[in-house]
Amino acid sequence: GAGVSQSPSNKVTEKGKDVELRCDPISGHTALYWYRQSLGQGLEFLIYFQGNSAPDKSGLPSDRFSAERTGGSVSTLTIQRTQQEDSAVYLCASSLRTAGEKLFFGSGTQLSVL
């Protein structure tokens, strides 16, 4: 596609339920990031995939959060047993391999945990 695609755009769930957020990066982009954006917290790094290398998971806030990237393309971020503090906009971004390349961001998934 022309840009980074995220789905769903909005997700409302009940506390304790699991959710899956999907990201479809730009074709040919080997780097993929997940960030979380909430008021007063800026852009919080969650996880980074680069090609076939082991992902950098250092930003995941707890073991309830996990992500995978299948076939070097689509990525899924899973949040288990959601909590109200997980409510935020979850952003995905992709870029070409080199470190100086700019990131292209998706429109995000607004997650609301009731």
Partner 1 sequence: AQSVTQLDSQVPVFEEAPVELRCNYSSSVSVYLFWYVQYPNQGLQLLLKYLSGSTLVKGINGFEAEFNKSQTSFHLRKPSVHISDTAEYFCAPRDGGTALIFGKGTTLSVSS
Name the site residues for partner 1 (rule: CB under 8 A): 33, 35, 40-43, 45, 48, 50, 56, 58-59, 91, 93, 99-100, 102-103, 105-108
Beta carbon of residue 76, minimum distance to partner 1 (angstroms, whole number): 19
Place of tokens 């971020």: 77
Provide the minimum distance between the beta carbon of 81 and partner 1 in the complex, in angstroms, as a whole number: 26
Place of tokens 């990525």: 75
Shortest spacing between CB 23 and partner 1, in angstroms: 13
Residue 25: phi and psi, rounded to 5, are -75, 175
Our measurement of the distance from residue 31's CA atom to the centroid of its chain's CA atoms, rounded to an integer in Å, reads 12
Smallest distance from partner 1 to CB 29, Å: 14
User: CB-wise, 26 or 91, nearer to partner 1?
Assistant: 91
CB 32 within 8 A of CB 4: no
CA nearest 58: which of 46, 71, 68, 50? 46
Cβ atoms of 46 and 77 closer than 8 Å: yes
Indicate the residue among 41 and 84 with the shorter CB distance to partner 1.
Answer: 41
Residue with smaller CB distance to partner 1, 42 or 71: 42
